[in-house]
Amino acid sequence: MAKVVLKLGADVSTDIIYPGRFMATVLPTETPQYAFADLEFNKKLKAKEVAPGSFIVADKNFGCGSSREQAASCLTGWGLKVIAKNFARIFMQNSINVGLNMVICPGIEASEGDELEIEGGKVVNRTSNRSFDIVPMPKARQAIIDAGGLIPFARKLVLQAKGHS
Amino acid sequence: MGMTMVEKILARATGQAAVKAGDVLEPKVDLAMSHENGALVINQFNEIYKDTGLEARVWDPARIAIIFDHRVPAESSKTATNQKKIRDFVARQGITKFHDIRGDEGGICHQILPENGYVLPGTVVVGTDSHTTSHGALGAFSFGIGATEMAAVWALGKILNVEVPGTIKVVVEGALPRGVEPKDIILHLVGKLTAEGANFKVIEFHGSTIRRMSTSGRLVICNMTVEAGATSGIVPPDAETVHYLKGEAGVKSIPPLFGPDADASYDQVIEIDASKLEPQIAFPHTVDNVKPVGAAKGIKVQQIVIGSCTNGRLDDLASAAAILQGKKVARGVRMLVFPASCRIYQKALKAGYVETFMKAGAVVMNSGCGPCLGVHQGALADGDKALATTNRNFKGRMGNPNAEVYLGSAATAAASAVTGEITDPRTVTVARAKETPKKAKAAKAKPKAARKVKAAARKPKVVKRKAAASKPKAKPVRKPAKKGRK
Ligand code: SF4
């Protein structure tokens, strides 16, 4: 069980998640400091007031805009999980590739401070005592998630292609 | 059932007779583009090979393009060092389609790719940039991916689990009124679809307006399909595509053209009457917040930006110069012009546009992304309002979350620069448009070549995948029309 630490609306762009002016910073180890840089939430993150495993809950089309992978890796770095009604395509793919924990939940209703749990294909809101269905990942994408991200997944393929195992 | 344009491309790329929306494929990649974020791709690419005992070599150095554009010349030592890292990698791997910071061949990736003939109809193109959708203008399936995904493409030469997208068909008919440009069509469409209306889908463009439009205008339209969430935009290739590739991009051999099947199935069909369209403005802070220019009348602006991969091409500069000729940029307004590539810059110099801009008080900057993404050059002050021909107006986009960005066409931007407030370009005087020197020359000096292109145009070759395959959708056009204005 973990808390909703940030509640956002629809169409949260990658410029909000990771402003363009920090794009010269690319390494996943360095990007977390700029997560939501223009929101108060960034200060909370840096003050370590946000527990790893906490939830961000958003409406539709989370991560729209640019293809910058920093927008996914900056959240992974804080161990955050994102639940949204749906995600923009490139952001969703990036999240899978860099191992960001993201959940598609079209009916999600939660407020900041609510305690959520992911259980049996549902998001359970322990505060409101309601549960909401999760849209499962297509198999091919789940395979990448199960491998721990695209890098280990691709490594396996590269080795296979060269006849290693 | 027939296939859409993108279904046909993906069927060919995977060697299948037919594919349908929802199938998950691993298509081969014909071209893989990155810009400065190549530094991250290199990092992830090396990670893939870590502890494998294998040498990290890209699958095909001739199919990788790297263009420096986002922060040129480097704004910080960090960027400069990233660029150096990429330069070294390019040399080591033998990557040839590399465009460094240079006045002869540099520019924004989404202009460099088309103008150098790197994108061909019917191919699969990926880029670590969301506006990679642009290249659908040439009939390619072209879409944006992240850096780690690109690292896997560099290693494997294919892109893993691409879900065949559903397609929205957009039919644009009628002649654009004076002062209305392709930018206004796509702003209108994004407003109609909303920011997520085309999420995970492709938008396929048809209709007489698109057929008459130059490749430059088609690039504008495909560029911004991602603002409606689309995986890509695509224009079935035709005579204009051939004309552009041979004439502008110097491509010698063009693969046989094909269009979608007549009985392809579309998720949605949208019709737009271009003749009724007015200039459009996207209000802050979302691109789908679109209203006719009249709704923005009187909004004072402190900065005008003309450029970017959306509207930094020669016809945009021509359109703006025609309005600015003999006029002045209003006091209190900073007007910044960024030609999309150095080739365009040089043509704008020859055509006298640069002189017109400078005499009017505009600052003409080097080719590149400039203020578009708010990293360097042209940041906004707190409380500033800007009108830009770029493609995004998200909060913070132009370097300051306490400023506002409005989006419009080059004509609207130029008209607004003169008055200092958002202005309908149909209400200002326009100098008689000069033929661009290149176009005039092409018409006079190369009648034979032009005839050949036209001949090819009349009979586009069609690859029939099935006996029942339909005739090409693409109707031959005699002369590529000028973008936007008549
Ligand atoms: S001009 Fe703007 S939108 Fe286009 S590639 Fe550059 S930063 Fe991206």
Please report whether residue B466 resides in a domain: no
Whole-number pLDDT of residue B238: 98
User: Which amino acid, B195?
Assistant: A
The residues, ordered by sequence, that sit 6+ positions from A44 with a Cβ below 8 Å of its Cβ are A5, A50
| B132 and B63 fall within a common domain | yes
Please report whether residue B44 resides in a domain: yes
User: Are the Cβ atoms of A72 and B147 closer than 8 angstroms?
Assistant: no
Give the neighbor-by-neighbor strand order of the sheet with B280-282. Answer: B290-292, B280-282, B404-407, B385-388, B303-307, B334-338, B363-364
User: Are the Cβ atoms of B195 and A64 closer than 8 angstroms?
Assistant: yes
Q: Please say whether the beta carbons of B142 and B136 come within 8 A.
A: yes
Whole-number pLDDT of residue A26: 87
| B185 and B312 fall within a common domain | no
Whole-number pLDDT of residue B38: 96
CATH label of the domain that carries residue B317: 3.30.499.10
Using the predicted structure, report yes or no on whether residue B234 has a pLDDT greater than 90: yes
- pLDDT of chain A, 165 residues: tens digit per residue: 999 999 999 999 999 999 988 988 889 999 999 999 999 999 999 999 999 999 999 999 999 988 899 999 999 999 999 999 999 989 999 999 999 999 999 999 999 999 999 998 999 999 999 999 999 988 888 889 999 999 999 999 999 988 765
Q: Which H/E stretch holds residue B150?
A: helix B147-156
pLDDT in tens, B168-194: 999 999 999 999 999 999 999 999 999
Q: Is the N-terminal amide bond of B27 cis, ω within 30° of 0?
A: no
Q: Which domain, by its residues, includes B365?
A: 278-427
Confidence of residue B434 (pLDDT cuts 50, 70, 90): low
| B266 and B283 fall within a common domain | no
Helix axes B353-360, B314-324, angle to 10 degrees: 50
Q: Estimate the share of chain B in helix, then strand, then coil, as percent rounded to the nearest 5.
A: 40, 15, 45
- Chain B residues in contact with A30 (beta carbon < 8 A): none
Give domain A2-135's CATH architecture. Answer: Alpha-Beta Barrel (3.20)
| B26 and B122 fall within a common domain | yes
Q: Is the N-terminal amide bond of B285 cis, ω within 30° of 0?
A: yes
Q: Can you read off the two tokens belonging to residue B228?
A: 């409606």
Please report whether residue B438 resides in a domain: no
Helix, strand, or coil (residue A157): helix
Q: Which of A153, A157, A147 is nearest to B54 (CA)?
A: A157
| B92 and B226 fall within a common domain | yes
User: Which amino acid, B330?
Assistant: A
- Of B215, B242, B274, the residue at which a domain comes to its end is B274
- Of B274, B291, B316, the residue at which a domain comes to its end is B274
Whole-number pLDDT of residue B267: 97
Determine the Cα–Cα distance for residues B175 and B353; give it in Å rounded to an integer: 26
Determine the Cα–Cα distance for residues B150 and A110; give it in Å rounded to an integer: 35
Give me chain B's average pLDDT, please: 91
For residue A110, the distance in angstroms to the closest alpha carbon of chain B comes to: 22
Whole-number pLDDT of residue A164: 60
For residue A13, the distance in angstroms to the closest alpha carbon of chain B comes to: 7
Determine the Cα–Cα distance for residues B448 and B453; give it in Å rounded to an integer: 9
Q: Can you read off the two tokens belonging to residue B236?
A: 């079935």
Among partner residues B70, B145, B401, which is closest to A67 by beta-carbon distance? B145
Please report whether residue B440 resides in a domain: no
For residue B151, the distance in angstroms to the closest alpha carbon of chain A comes to: 8
| B255 and B368 fall within a common domain | no
Confidence of residue B433 (pLDDT cuts 50, 70, 90): low
Domain residue spans of chain A: 2-135
Length of chain B: 486
pLDDT in tens, B335-390: 999 999 999 999 999 999 999 999 999 999 999 999 998 888 899 999 999 999 99
pLDDT in tens, B71-80: 999 999 999 9
Confidence of residue B451 (pLDDT cuts 50, 70, 90): very low
Name the A residues in 103-132 with CB < 8 Å from any B CB. Answer: none
Length of chain A: 165
| B300 and B411 fall within a common domain | yes
Please report whether residue B473 resides in a domain: no
Q: Please say whether the beta carbons of B190 and B224 come within 8 A.
A: yes
Asked if B399 is an interface residue toward chain A (Cβ–Cβ < 8 A), one would say yes
| B196 and B282 fall within a common domain | no
Using the predicted structure, report yes or no on whether residue B12 has a pLDDT greater than 90: yes
Whole-number pLDDT of residue B465: 44
Residue B309 class from Cβ within 10 Å (0-12 exposed, 13-18 middle, 19+ buried)? buried
Confidence of residue B461 (pLDDT cuts 50, 70, 90): very low
Give the neighbor-by-neighbor strand order of the sheet with A130-133. Answer: A101-104, A81-84, A55-58, A2-7, A115-119, A122-125, A130-133
Determine the Cα–Cα distance for residues B404 and B33; give it in Å rounded to an integer: 31
Q: Can you read off the two tokens belonging to residue B381?
A: 């002050």
- pTM more than 0.95: no
Q: CB of B412 closer than 6 A to ligand 1?
A: no
User: Which ranges of chain A does DSSP label H, i.e. alpha helix?
Assistant: 14-17, 40-46, 70-76, 89-98, 139-147, 150-161
Express as a percent the part of chain B with pLDDT over 70: 89
Please report whether residue B458 resides in a domain: no
Determine the Cα–Cα distance for residues B311 and B315; give it in Å rounded to an integer: 9
Name the B residues in 317-336 with CB < 8 Å from any A CB. Answer: none
Using the predicted structure, report yes or no on whether residue B477 has a pLDDT greater than 90: no
Total Cβ atoms within 10 A of residue A48: 9
Confidence of residue B458 (pLDDT cuts 50, 70, 90): very low
